[in-house]
Amino acid sequence: MNLSGAIDRAMDWTVVPGFSRIGYEVRRRSWEPQPSVLEGRDVLVTGASSGLGEAAAELLAGAGARVHMVVRNLEKGEDVRAAISERTGGGLRVWRCDVSDLDSVGELARSFTAEVGELAALVHNAGAMPPKRERSAQGIELTLATNVIGPFLLTGLILSSLRSGVPSRIISVSSGGMYTQGLNAEDLQLAGRDYDPSRFYAHSKRCEVILSELWAERLAGSGISAHAMHPGWADTPGLQASMPGFRRVTKPLLRSARQGADTIAWLAGDEQPGRSSGLFWQDRRPRPTHRTRSTKESEADRERLWQECERLSGWSIGASETSAANGGGRTAR
């Protein structure tokens, strides 16, 4: 059965059908099984010890990829790895990294690029919505550090492995919450605002989507594509901890983690999305990145976002190619 574009878009536009398990169940009926391009290839998934990251790791291992699970708690990560390996028979390996800590990201990138020459897909899935205002090890607002600056640095520092692995893909797990926020390029850390977990989270998720578009522009023609996506609403430990009230009300409608992770694994391993770059996806279809004009950013603000990410991470695209192997191309902030 082929789901008409109009029905699909109507479900998306009215939010609840599109974001909930209803959207997944209806849309999946039109999906044709395709051979994965990942057999025997290396993929890296951050935040793979829980929720969507764990489910994505399992789907990717099931598709024949060698999965590198990046976790901040090695013991928990090993338990999850063993369970996935038992279920899929796939090869998985655990790496430790706190993605909010730029030094930890630097250490991961150094060991990873030394050991894994060719990377087929880098999945930025780790994410957080801290309940109160906190700062990372380097003093960056923690939501931005975890969801944006750490992943930006990780991409930069392992570009060499992605280049060696072309065709390769960078996938950013954003959120439908980003529709509520425009980019504040003048105050990326929202220092001038009272702390509001949902607003700060949604702003960081808006940054992720714009950055994915900027990576696509900067890497055009390189064989590395960039894709952002949102998973809809999935019942994960993260959702349970950060939005218990929302979960109580919506529980019967929530997707499973596996349903939420489907498009992550599809973006990493299906031929079709590899023919594009810079799009924003949900349930295997490109989606608009704005619902109202008020959230649209200017070209100058987009550039400013990129420059702020370079400044805060200490990594710049100009310095990247020669330095990844010998220290990572970071300079002091």
Ligand X SMILES: NC(=O)c1ccc[n+]([C@@H]2O[C@H](COP(=O)([O-])OP(=O)(O)OC[C@H]3O[C@@H](n4cnc5c(N)ncnc54)[C@H](OP(=O)(O)O)[C@@H]3O)[C@@H](O)[C@H]2O)c1
Q: Which of 20, 49, 168, 181 binds ligand X (CB under 6 A)?
A: 49
Q: Which of 43, 44, 59, 126 binds ligand X (CB under 6 A)?
A: 126
DSSP conformation letters of 265-329: HHHHH-TGGGG--SEEEETTEE--S-SSGGG---HHHHHHHHHHHHHHHTB-GGGHHHHGGGT-S
Q: How far is the CB of 172 from ligand X (least distance, A)?
A: 9
Segment lying near ligand X (by CB under 6 A), choices 1-9, 228-236, 268-276, 316-324: 228-236
Report if residue 231 touches ligand X, rule: CB under 6 A.
yes
Measured between its terminal Cα atoms, the distance across the chain in Å is 54
∠ CA 97-273-262, nearest 5°, is 60
Q: Which of 73, 85, 138, 184 binds ligand X (CB under 6 A)?
A: 73
Q: 264 near 171, Cβ under 8 Å?
A: yes
Helix (H, G, I), strand (E, B) or coil at 225: strand
Q: Which of 151, 165, 238, 329 binds ligand X (CB under 6 A)?
A: 238
Report if residue 329 touches ligand X, rule: CB under 6 A.
no
Residue 253: closest CA among 69, 88, 11: 11
My answer on whether omega of the bond before 167 falls inside 30° of 0, hence cis, is yes
* Residue 179 annotated in active site: no
Segment lying near ligand X (by CB under 6 A), choices 34-42, 50-58, 107-115, 212-220: 50-58
Is 63 exposed, middle or buried (CB count within 10 Å of its CB: 0-12, 13-18, 19+)?
A: buried
Distance separating alpha carbons of residues 6 and 203, to the nearest angstrom: 29
Tokens for 325? Answer: 């192997």
Phi (first) and psi of residue 57, to 5 degrees: -60, -40
Segment lying near ligand X (by CB under 6 A), choices 211-219, 227-235, 285-293, 299-307: 227-235
Residues 153-192: x where in contact with ligand X by CB under 6 A, - otherwise, as a string: --------------------x-x-----------------
Q: Which amino acid is at 45?
A: V
Segment lying near ligand X (by CB under 6 A), choices 96-104, 162-170, 184-192, 209-217: 96-104
Report if residue 20 touches ligand X, rule: CB under 6 A.
no
Q: Which of 9, 15, 62, 72 binds ligand X (CB under 6 A)?
A: 72
Total residue length of the chain: 333
Report if residue 250 touches ligand X, rule: CB under 6 A.
no
Report if residue 263 touches ligand X, rule: CB under 6 A.
no
> Which residue lies nearer to ligand X by CB, 76 or 333?
76
> Which residue lies nearer to ligand X by CB, 144 or 279?
144
Q: Which residues bind ligand X (CB under 6 A)?
A: 46-47, 49-53, 72-73, 76, 98-100, 125-128, 146, 173, 175, 230-231, 233-234, 236-239, 260
Residues carrying an active site annotation? 201
